[in-house]
Amino acid sequence: MKPKYTRLRGVRDILPEELIHWRDVELKAREIFRRYNYKEIETPIIEPAEIFIRTVGEETDIVRKEMYIFKDRGDRLVALRPEGTAPVVRAFLENKLYTPGKVSKFYYIGDMFRYDRPQAGRQREFHQIGIEALGEASYILDVEVISLLLSFLNELGLKNITLLLNSVGCPNCRTVYSSALREFFASRVEMLCEDCKERLGRNPLRILDCKVDTCRDIAGDAPSIMDYLCEDCKEHFDKVKEALTSAGIPYILDNRLVRGLDYYTKTAFEVKAEGFDFSIGGGGRYDGLVKELGGPDIPGIGFAIGMERLLEVLEGSGLLLSKMEVPDYFIAYEPDLVRDAIIFAERLRSRGFTVEISYTSKALKSQLREADRSKSRKAVIIKNELWINNRVILKDMTTGEQQEVESIKLEVCKFE
RNA sequence: GUGAAUGUAGCUCAACUUGGUCAGAGCGCUGGACUGUGGAUCCAGAUGUUGGGGGUUCGAGUCCCCUCAUUCACCCCA
C-alpha cells in the first residue's frame, strides 16, 4: 500500500525507538542545567518575523532565503523560528524578567525551522538544546558557558570533542576589520570563486571559511581579526583564553570561525566531534542583542546544540544504549475468562506493572505467539480449573519455565 | 537556489552493459507438521498498478522526455 499522504520535505517523524534516545539526551541536559542553575523557558514556535530580521541580520542567508515566513490572517508578517536566541530575549523583555545586577539564565529544548535543502545533518525542522545567559559581561560567564557545554558532551560519553574558539569583536572593531578584509580581497578579486566575489560585497568575513582551495590560500594571507580587536574586546578575549587554560579546558584558536548570525560579539565558539564534518553546536556572546530588541543595554551569551547532529555523533560512537521497555506480563486466557482476564490485567497495571493482554481470545498457541512477539518477560495463563482456586500459570518467556502461583502473589510481589 | 545519484513486495535488494518465461530472493507475515503452550526446524501460502505521467516499440523496471520524492554535495548552518 502506497501512503496517500507523506511528510513534507525536510521534516521527519521521530519514531518510538529513536525517541528513547532523545529523551535520554534531554534528561542529561536538564540535569546539567540544574547544576549550573539554568531555568527552562519555552517560547512560541511562531514569532513576529521582525525579531529575527532585526537580530539575525538582513544580509544573512537565514533571513534572505531560509525563513519560513508568511502573513497570517490578520496580515501580520510571522515566521517559524529559525533560531532560539531572539525569542528568548523577546520573552525576557516582554515579561520584564530583568533586574539590575542579576544574571538571568535560561535553557530551552525545541524545534527550529529553516527552509534549506535537506542533506546529511540538516533538516528543515531540526531540534536544538540551547541556553541563554543575560545580564553579565564578565569573561567568567563565557568560561562557565563553555564549560557547561563541554561537561554536557563529556557526560554523554563523548571523547574527542574539540572546542574551536574565536573572537568576532564588537560592532566597532569588526567594522574596521571588515573593511580591511574587503580591501585585502578586493585587490585579489579575480582569483576568488564566484561565491566569494558575492561575499566580498555582502560579508567579507565569510570568505575566510570558503572551501575552495584558491580562496583558502588567499585567505591564509588575509589580515587576522586579532590585530584589529579593540582594547576591550582584546582584553576580554585574553581573559577567556587564560581562564580556559587554567581550568584545563583545551581549545583550538580558529580565526576563521565566523558565526552565521549578525548579533554575535566577542567570544564565538563551536564544538566538533572527531570524524564528523559538521559542528554539533555553537554559540557566543551577543552583547548588543537585547538593546537591538528594544531593551536595556545588557549583555548576553548562549549556545545551541543541534539535537539531530548530536544524536548522529552519539550513534556513530556507539553511545546509544537504551532499549525500548518491554511488558512485564502478557495475559493469555481461555476464551470464557475474558472478563476476568481484563480485570486481572487492570489490577496488575494499578500495581505499576506494564501489562499486555491478548485482544483476540484466540487459541492459546496464538496467544502465546502474541506474548512472544510483544517481548513480554512473563506470560500469565488463566485457565478455568486453576482460576477457580485463584491460581494462574506463570511462564517465564526467556527460559520457558512455568509454575502455578496464586494470582494475588503477582499483585503484591515486586517484579523479579 | 545549483549540481549529481537513486526510486522494484512491509523491510533489504536481484532482474546487468544486450528491450521479449522478468516480476524474483532473503527477512518478515499467515497457516500446517505440533490434536489448548511462544521461540528452533521443515513444508505451504499471500503480497507489487516496478514513484507518477507521457513517448518510442509488435513488446519497457529495462530506452527517451516531464514530474514528484529520497540521498549526497554546494550555498549556508544546528
A52-63 mean pLDDT: 91
Q: For residue A204, what pLDDT is reported?
A: 87
Measured distance CA(A374)–CA(A355) in Å, rounded:
10
In A 322-341, which Cβ lie closer than 7 Å to strand B? 333-334
A73-91 mean pLDDT: 96
In A 190-229, which Cβ lie closer than 7 Å to strand B? 195, 199, 206, 209-212
* Secondary structure element (H or E) that encloses residue A371, with its range: helix A364-373
User: Is the distance between the Cβ of A73 and the closest atom of strand B smaller than 7 Å?
Assistant: no
Q: For residue A96, what pLDDT is reported?
A: 95
pLDDT for residue A151 is more than 90? yes
Classify residue A228 as exposed, middle or buried by CB count within 10 Å of its CB (0-12, 13-18, 19+): buried
User: Is the distance between the Cβ of A110 and the closest atom of strand B smaller than 7 Å?
Assistant: no
Question: How many helices and strands, by DSSP H and E, does chain A display?
Answer: 15, 16
User: Is the distance between the Cβ of A126 and the closest atom of strand B smaller than 7 Å?
Assistant: yes
Classify residue A73 as exposed, middle or buried by CB count within 10 Å of its CB (0-12, 13-18, 19+): exposed
Say how far A337 CA is from B75 C1', in Å.
Answer: 66
- With a pLDDT cut of 70, the percent of chain A lying above it is 99
* CATH class of the domain whose range is A16-170+230-316: alpha beta
Q: For residue A415, what pLDDT is reported?
A: 65
Residue A157 in grid coordinates? 560519553
Residue A237 in grid coordinates? 578575549
Find and give the residue nearest to B78, measured CA to C1'.
Answer: A306
* Secondary structure element (H or E) that encloses residue A239, with its range: helix A231-246
pLDDT for residue A185 is more than 70? yes
- What fold, for A329-412? Rossmann fold (3.40.50)
Q: For residue A228, what pLDDT is reported?
A: 93
Radius of gyration of chain A (CA): 28
Of the pLDDT bands very low, low, confident and very high (cuts 50, 70, 90), residue A398 is: confident
Classify residue A281 as exposed, middle or buried by CB count within 10 Å of its CB (0-12, 13-18, 19+): buried
In A 127-186, which Cβ lie closer than 7 Å to strand B? 128
Q: For residue A189, what pLDDT is reported?
A: 85
Closest nt to residue A281, judged CA to C1': B78
Closest nt to residue A261, judged CA to C1': B77
**pTM for the whole structure:** 0.92
Phi, psi of A192 (to 5 degrees): -80, 155
A345-370 mean pLDDT: 87
Residues of chain A with CATH 3.30.930.10: 16-170+230-316
Q: For residue A7, what pLDDT is reported?
A: 87
Measured distance CA(A71)–CA(A49) in Å, rounded:
10
User: Is the distance between the Cβ of A2 and the closest atom of strand B smaller than 7 Å?
Assistant: yes
Say how far A117 CA is from B53 C1', in Å.
Answer: 25
Q: For residue A369, what pLDDT is reported?
A: 85
Of the pLDDT bands very low, low, confident and very high (cuts 50, 70, 90), residue A1 is: low
Q: What is the complex's ipTM, to 2 decimals?
A: 0.84
Of the pLDDT bands very low, low, confident and very high (cuts 50, 70, 90), residue A145 is: very high
Q: What is the pLDDT of residues A314-349, one digit of tens each?
A: 988 889 888 888 899 999 998 888 899 999 999 999
Say how far A3 CA is from B15 C1', in Å.
Answer: 26
DSSP string for A56-118: H-TTSHIIIII-EEEE-TT--EEEE-S-SHHHHHHHHHHTT---TT--EEEEEEEEEE--PPP
Instruction: Let me know: does A279 contact A291? Beta carbons within 8 Å.
Output: no
pLDDT for residue A159 is more than 70? yes
Residues of chain A with CATH 3.40.50.800: 329-412
**Mean pLDDT score of chain A, rounded to an integer?**
91
User: Is the distance between the Cβ of A405 and the closest atom of strand B smaller than 7 Å?
Assistant: no
Q: For residue A416, what pLDDT is reported?
A: 59
pLDDT for residue A246 is more than 80? yes
CB atoms < 10 A from the CB of A351, how many? 15
Q: For residue A220, what pLDDT is reported?
A: 84
Say how far A299 CA is from B32 C1', in Å.
Answer: 75
Instruction: Let me know: does A50 contact A3? Beta carbons within 8 Å.
Output: no
Of the pLDDT bands very low, low, confident and very high (cuts 50, 70, 90), residue A382 is: very high
A125-139 mean pLDDT: 97
User: Is the distance between the Cβ of A262 and the closest atom of strand B smaller than 7 Å?
Assistant: no
| Of the candidates A157, A208, A161, A151, the residue with the CA atom closest to the CA atom of residue A185 | A208
Phi, psi of A42 (to 5 degrees): -130, 130
